Amino acid sequence: MANNAIFLSCMQSVQFGIDPNMIKTRNIWNRFAPNYEEGFVARFYGQLFRNALIEQMVYLEPVLARGFYCVDAGTAVGNNIPLFLKYGASCVLGLDMSTEMLAINSKKMQASGFGHRVILKEHDLTREKIPVNDGSVGLVANQIVSCYLTAIQRNYCFAEFGRVVRKGGFVLGSGLGPNFRLPAAVQDNQKREGHMDLLRDVVGPLLGEIQYLIKAGEISPASSEEMRQLLEASGFEVVYIDTPPGLENPEDRDDPDYVVRWLGRKL
Distance CA 127, CA 160 (A): 9
Cα distance between residue 1 and residue 153, in whole Å: 35
Which residue's CB is nearer to ligand SAM, number 141 or number 241?
141
The reply on whether position 96 binds ligand SAM by CB under 6 A is yes
Q: Name the minimum Å distance from CB 204 to ligand SAM.
A: 15
Binding of residue 76 to ligand SAM (CB under 6 A) = yes
154: left (phi over 0), alpha (psi -120 to 50) or beta: alpha
Min dist CB 152 to ligand SAM, Å, is: 12
The stretch near ligand SAM (CB under 6 A) out of 54-62, 92-100, 184-192, 226-234 is 92-100
b (16+ CB within 10 A) / e for 167-178: eebbbbbbbbbe
52 scored as a contact of ligand SAM (CB under 6 A)? no
Among 145, 186, 203, 230, binds ligand SAM (CB under 6 A): 145
**What residues contact residue 261 under an 8 Å CB cut-off, 6+ apart?**
49, 52, 56, 172, 173, 174, 175, 241, 242, 243, 244
* CA atoms of 245 and 50, how far apart (whole Å): 10
Counting residues that bind ligand SAM (by CB under 6 A) gives: 21
Q: Does 87 bind ligand SAM (CB under 6 A)?
A: no
**Is there binding between residue 143 and ligand SAM (CB under 6 A)?**
yes
SS3 148: helix
Residue 44 interacts with ligand SAM (CB under 6 A): yes or no: no
Interface with ligand SAM by CB under 6 A: which residues? 22, 25, 29, 74-76, 79-80, 95-98, 101, 123-126, 143-145, 148
